[in-house]
Amino acid sequence: MAVAMDEIDSNDERHKSTDDSSSLSPNGSSSQQMNSTNTTNAERRPRRDKQQRVRTVLTEKQLHLLKSCYAYNARPDALLKEQLAEMTELSPRVIRVWFQNKRKNNTID
């Protein structure tokens, strides 16, 4: 019966060592210490109250005009982009970003 007790004692010690090591990180500190000292970037930086931009939804007419212009010239100059902005009633920034995205997506395809 002494043999059986030794086996039980050695099993208990194995469980204890695995339980203790599971809460330790590779450098030997406990996981609770790591969680309390590690903070995310969002927690470190002060929150900036920026207004979130609204996503522009293009109408079929606007999209058709942009695509037909892109088929003719994938890199329109400033004057053409300004004219497109007036015709589509979109901001010049939306026009510029649309052409940038379209060129990027065409290189991926």
Same domain assignment for residues 31 and 66: no
Residues 64 and 27 in one domain: no
Question: Contact 74/99 with Cβ under 8 angstroms?
Answer: yes
Question: Which pTM value belongs to this model?
Answer: 0.53
Look up tokens 């330790």; give the residue: 24
Domain that holds residue 76: 60-108
44 within domain boundaries: no
**Six-digit token string for 58:** 């293009």
Q: How many domains does the chain have?
A: 2
> Which CATH number goes with the domain that contains 82?
1.10.10.60
List, for the chain, all residue ranges whose pLDDT scores fall below the cut of 50: 1, 7, 10, 13-15, 17-23, 31, 34
* Residue 72 domain-assigned (yes or no): yes
**Is residue 50 in some structural domain?**
no
My answer on whether 73 and 103 are in the same domain is yes
